[in-house]
């Protein structure tokens, strides 16, 4: 019986490995995907303050508008956890936000955070970062680089983030509040900060296993995240929990109204990153607070002068923050969104009235243009028109 169980586990592990290999088989970068639709595309190499190198992609103008000699407001799009710039173009020219923005007259920048498939030129120790460093250093570097490279003397940008792309925005704007002056409007698609009421089975289950002082955490901290079967832990019990609750978690986050072609392409995005990014979310869910990385009680005293990490002072985020949320998102509960909103001094709430809409649908839902993209672009246009008056 025990031998049969081991064989079953080996088979399951092998299946996941094979799926991961197939998942990463793709022959087109973000810029190639953009060029395939006739749009101009640029690749940019951006160095951060702490010595890491990021790759960003740009649609500088619209080939339909031929507006390369006109003023084009800057927009930065930032992907979610274990994703990449690809996600913003997979729905095609008629629906994907990157193309719609370009055709609306914007200078579109599509970012990649450190450690993902496009930004692997890492400073040692390579995987010793969470989304804290991504917010503090990566997002600030991309904002400054886009403003400088645009060449039109612009002082601020529009920002759109999905999932972790919202978390890193909150991180930067609360800890380096001077960057609020560089934001015109920001759009948080499924804003992840407070996670107290998260209902996702994977997150809830994993948070019970991973604690800041736990041995399982020590095995994975500061290492590359691929999947649970590639962790340094040899404890099959923990792996089985993840197998039940986390296998194909990304597919569970899509609704039945997600674009099937876009999902197929999204599955090819290499889910690279640091385990610390995942751990940071798990610790925040467990604590119920939006706070900095929880090392362990001893190191917390060294780093923070406190046994517990400090909360992010989101009250310092003075830029215009639009919070887009739905009821059927098991990672981001409306109660947590409203709790965050209560602390933000300059926010606008957008409750999307679509019952069949999941966490991942913000970029690949069949009606994403209706529910998110057109409304977001209209807000940006209104800002630009009001500024001209």
Q: What is the pLDDT of residues 193-217, one digit of tens each?
A: 999 999 998 899 889 889 998 888 8
Q: For residue 230, is pLDDT > 60? A: no
Residues noted as catalytic: 163, 359
Cα four-point dihedral sign 355, 84, 165, 289 = positive
pLDDT level of residue 348 (50, 70, 90 thresholds): very high
Q: Tell me the mean pLDDT in the region 272-292.
A: 96
**How many beta carbons lie within 10 A of that of residue 329, not counting itself?**
25
User: Is 187 strand, coil or helix?
Assistant: strand
| Residue 200 near residue 209 (C-beta atoms within 8 A) | no
Q: Residue 234: which pLDDT band, with cuts at 50, 70 and 90?
A: very low
Cβ atoms of 31 and 56 closer than 8 Å: no
Q: Which two tokens stand for residue 154?
A: 């612009």
Cβ-proximal residues to 9 (8 Å cutoff; 6+ apart), any chain: 236, 239, 240
**Cross-strand bridge partners of residue 46:** 54
Amino acid 21: pLDDT: 40
| Dist CA 136 CA 131 (whole Å) | 8
The answer to whether residue 384 scores a pLDDT higher than 80 is yes
Q: What percent of the chain has pLDDT over 90?
A: 70
Q: Which two structure tokens, joined as six digits, stand for 176?
A: 């380096």
**Strand boundaries in the chain, DSSP class E:** 42-47, 53-59, 74-78, 107-110, 157-162, 183-189, 224-225, 273-274, 320-325, 347-351
The tens digit of pLDDT for each residue in 91-112 reads 999 999 999 999 999 999 999 9
3-state DSSP assignment of residue 153 = coil
Ranges 124-128, 134-138, 368-372: which has the least confidence = 124-128
pLDDT for position 263:
67
pTM of the model: 0.89
- Coil, helix or strand for 124? coil
pLDDT at 388 over 60: yes
pLDDT over threshold 70, residue 255: no
Residues 150-176 have pLDDT tens digits of 999 999 999 999 999 999 999 999 999
Tell me: pLDDT of 305 over 90: yes
Q: How confident is the model at residue 250 (pLDDT cuts 50, 70, 90)?
A: low
Distance CA 189, CA 127 (A): 26
Q: Which two tokens stand for residue 298?
A: 């001893």
Tokens matching residue 218 = 């020590």
User: Which is nearest to 269 in space by CA: 24, 21, 16?
Assistant: 24
Query: How does DSSP classify residue 229?
Result: G
Higher pLDDT, 19 or 69: 69
What pLDDT does residue 321 have?
Answer: 98
- Chain-wide mean pLDDT for the chain? 87
Tallying the residues shown for the chain, one arrives at 389
Instruction: Work out the widest C-alpha separation in the chain, in whole angstroms.
Output: 77
Task: Confirm if 347 and 322 have CB atoms less than 8 A apart.
Answer: yes
Q: What is the pLDDT of residue 123?
A: 86
How far is Cα 110 from Cα 39, in angstroms, rounded to an integer?
14
Q: What is the CATH number of the domain that holds 360?
A: 3.40.50.1820
Residue 242 has pLDDT above 50, yes or no: no
Number of folded domains in the chain?
1
3-class secondary-structure state, position 74: strand
Range of the domain at 28: 2-388
State the virtual CA torsion across 253, 192, 165, 324 in degrees, nearest 10: 80
69: how many CB neighbours lie within 10 A of its CB?
7
Q: What is the mean pLDDT of residues 120-127?
A: 86
DSSP designation for 76? E
Cβ contact 249:202 at 8 Å: yes
Sheet with 157-162, strands from edge to edge, namely: 42-47, 53-59, 107-110, 74-78, 157-162, 183-189, 320-325, 347-351
3-class secondary-structure state, position 321: strand
Please give the Cα distance from 6 to 240 (Å, whole number): 12
- C-beta separation of 348 from 323 below 8 A: yes
Residue 140 CB-half CA count within 13 A: 23
Distance of alpha carbon 30 from its chain centroid, rounded?
A: 16
């Amino acid at each position: 019986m025990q031998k049969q169980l081991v064989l079953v586990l080996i088979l399951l592990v092998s299946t996941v490995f094979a799926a991961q290999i197939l998942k990463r088989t793709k022959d087109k970068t973000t810029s190639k995907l953009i060029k395939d639709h006739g749009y101009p595309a640029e690749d940019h190499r951006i160095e951060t303050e702490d010595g890491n190198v990021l790759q960003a992609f740009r649609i500088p103008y619209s080939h339909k508008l031929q507006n390369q000699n006109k003023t084009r407001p800057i927009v930065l799009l930032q992907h979610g956890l274990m994703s990449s710039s690809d996600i913003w173009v997979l729905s095609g020219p008629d629906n994907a936000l990157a193309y719609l923005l370009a055709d609306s007259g914007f200078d579109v920048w599509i970012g990649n955070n450190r450690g993902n498939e496009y930004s692997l030129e890492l400073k040692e120790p390579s995987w010793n970062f969470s989304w804290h460093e991504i917010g503090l250093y990566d997002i600030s570097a991309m904002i400054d680089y886009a403003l400088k490279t645009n060449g039109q003397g612009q002082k601020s940008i529009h920002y759109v983030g999905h999932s972790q792309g919202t978390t890193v925005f909150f991180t930067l704007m609360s800890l380096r509040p001077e960057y609020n002056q560089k934001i015109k409007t920001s759009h948080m698609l499924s804003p992840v900060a407070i996670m107290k009421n998260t209902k996702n089975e994977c997150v809830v289950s994993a948070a019970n296993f991973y604690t800041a002082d736990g041995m399982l955490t020590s095995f994975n901290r500061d290492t590359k995240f691929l999947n649970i079967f590639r962790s340094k832990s040899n404890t099959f019990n923990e792996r089985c929990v993840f197998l039940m609750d986390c296998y194909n978690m990304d597919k569970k986050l899509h609704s039945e109204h997600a674009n099937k072609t876009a999902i197929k392409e999204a599955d090819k995005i290499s889910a690279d990153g640091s385990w610390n990014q995942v751990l940071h979310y798990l610790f925040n869910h467990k604590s119920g607070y939006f706070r900095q990385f929880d090392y362990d009680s001893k190191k917390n005293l060294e780093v923070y002068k406190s046994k517990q990490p400090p909360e992010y002072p989101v009250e310092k985020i003075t830029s215009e923050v639009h919070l887009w949320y739905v009821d059927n998102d098991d990672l981001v509960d409306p109660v947590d969104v409203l709790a965050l909103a209560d602390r933000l001094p300059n926010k606008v709430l957008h409750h999307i009235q679509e019952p069949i809409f999941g966490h991942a649908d913000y970029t690949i839902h069949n009606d994403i243009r209706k529910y998110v993209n057109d409304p977001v672009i209209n807000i940006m246009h209104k800002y630009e028109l009001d500024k001209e008056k």
